[in-house]
Amino acid sequence: MQRLDIKFSKEIGSYDKFNAAQCFNCGTCTALCPMGINILPRILFRYVLMGMKDKLMENKDAIYSCLLCRMCEDNCPEGVRIAENIRVLRRYIGRHVYGL
Amino acid sequence: MPLPIGDILGILTDNIRLRGSVLPLPKRLISAWADGLGIKEGGETIIYTGHMYQLIPSIKIMAEKMAGLENSILTRYFWMGRIANKAVNLITFMGSPSPEEQARYNNYLRNIAMLLKEAEVDFGCLFERELYTGALIFDQGIDHVFEMHARKVYRLLKENKVRRVITVDPHTTNMLRTIYPKFIKGYDLEVASYLEVLCEQDTDARNPLDADLVIHDSCVYARHEGVTKEPRLLLKKTGARLHEPELSERLTHCCGGPIESLFPGKAHEIARKRLGQLAECGNKITTMCPICLVNLQGAAAKADVDLKVTDISEYLAKAYCAHV
Ligand code: SF4
Ligand code: SF4
């Protein structure tokens, strides 16, 4: 069973640049991503929006594999700030998991 | 086992906090590139290297060590390295690059300075006082440490009465022009890459180049900073014939460099893929970022065909400068 952590999605959502809620899950970003990792980036955003903290934590490698190259962002029809959103996830993990 | 993300980020962050750079280099190494060029100390307009080109030979050594450790049992002991690094700069134990290797990267900076002189740009430099911009920890989301560091860099520039900064690579341009203003209220420096400055000066090439060149755009220049037409204009004026891969300008494909320190294997795979796309258009490839340069050169060294990957400053200096 998946635990939902609303506090977690609220904290990430409170970072002013995090705008993943604009994503309508079209898949353009995943198709263009040079990393070829299926969950990069849109499924990660779904995990956050739904409060699936454990799922996000299981995928730390994918989060840190993002090149921040913005190939996805430049082609996103909804103007999602994908690279900044990924940085926000790193910021959360850096603080709460790695104690940086 | 994969490399331990937390410990590696911890070491890089500690280095910024304690020593002012992710890979602290001896001061002399930072400014050696400018020897004998007659560049003045300080001034309202300065060239700012951000240490990127000077760091590449050391980054190469570190990347090789990391690639060797990836998936090895030794990754378990990285936490010890982090503790030791707080007391002693571990980078000094990784080995030093050869003087020839360091000279090669310094030479790109010399090219850039000579190009600016040739275009009659009046500029100075902060030499050993220059600081790294913190781009790597910004990318990793370590914002509180990044912000402190960015303020330190800004203070340095303001104390030296700098108003205009000429950058030499995309990452430093992006930090000083786009990212710092988001963290520092009232930030008022004018920042331009040397490619933009040279275009503005509108000088003509002295020595025509008879070459077929394939252009690799940096993601940061193309998509973050909108620098795409300048390198093309400058190269076209040399007479060189330019060849574009299918993914170019705003659609450029990353070289893999940004994940080299955490996932060297994946970074090499991306570099190989990009090199393949470039090689379809010709065997002389030109880059405009030191990170792209080192990654694509690494991939070219392992390729079956003869490919030459060179910094754009090399071609520009040959064409625009009198004594190269
Ligand atoms: S391209 Fe934009 S809107 Fe489409 S899935 Fe990706 S982030 Fe969402
Ligand atoms: S920014 Fe990250 S998610 Fe987007 S295309 Fe580049 S590597 Fe993929």
Q: What would the pLDDT profile of B163-180 be if each residue is shown by its tens digit?
A: 999 999 999 999 999 999
* Residue B18 clears pLDDT 70, i.e. is over it: yes
Q: What is the pLDDT of residues B130-158, one digit of tens each?
A: 999 999 999 999 999 999 999 999 999 99
Q: For residue B164, what are the β-bridge partners?
A: B45, B190
Write down the H helix ranges in B160-253.
170-174, 180-183, 194-201, 219, 229-237
CA angle, B161 as apex, B160 and B163 as ends, to 5°? Answer: 125
CB A91 to CB B262 under 8 A?
Answer: no
Q: How confident is the model at residue B92 (pLDDT cuts 50, 70, 90)?
A: low
**What pLDDT was estimated at residue B84?**
62
CA angle, A99 as apex, A97 and B4 as ends, to 5°? Answer: 65
Please work out whether the CB of residue A78 comes within 6 Å of at least one atom of ligand 1: yes
Chain B residue with Cα closest to A69: B219
Q: How much is the mean pLDDT over chain B?
A: 92
Q: What is the pLDDT of residues B56-76, one digit of tens each?
A: 998 888 777 766 666 666 666
* Residue B7 clears pLDDT 80, i.e. is over it: yes
State the pTM of this model: 0.94
**Contact between residue A75 and residue B273 where contact means Cβ atoms under 8 Å apart:** no
Sheet holding B241-243, edge to edge: B241-243, B212-215, B284-287, B308-311
Reduced to 3 states (helix: H, G, I; strand: E, B; else coil), residue B214 is: strand
Beta-carbon contacts of residue B319 (< 8 Å; ≥ 6 apart): B205, B206, B207, B208, B209, B237, B238, B239, B240
Q: What is the pLDDT of residues B196-252, one digit of tens each?
A: 999 999 989 999 999 999 999 999 999 999 999 999 999 999 999 999 999 999 999
Judging contacts by C-beta atoms under 8 Å, the chain B residues touching residue A40 are none
Please work out whether the CB of residue A43 comes within 6 Å of at least one atom of ligand 2: no
**What pLDDT was estimated at residue B322?**
85
By CB atoms closer than 10 A (0-12, 13-18, 19+), residue B285 is: buried
Task: Report CA(B274)–ligand 1 centroid distance (Å).
Answer: 24
Beta-carbon contacts of residue B182 (< 8 Å; ≥ 6 apart): none
- Of residues B227 and B84, the one with the higher pLDDT is B227
* Residue B321 clears pLDDT 90, i.e. is over it: yes
CA proximity to B117, closest of B233, B203, B228, B29: B203
* Residue A92 clears pLDDT 80, i.e. is over it: yes
CB B142 to CB A34 under 8 A?
Answer: no
* Nearest ligand, CA A63: 2
CB B262 to CB A64 under 8 A?
Answer: yes
**Ligand 1, pocket-test mutation among A24, A35, A71, most atoms within 8 A of CB:** A24
Residue B190, H or E segment = strand B190-193
* Residue A91 clears pLDDT 90, i.e. is over it: yes
Q: How confident is the model at residue A17 (pLDDT cuts 50, 70, 90)?
A: confident
Kindly provide the ipTM of the predicted complex, given to two decimals. 0.94
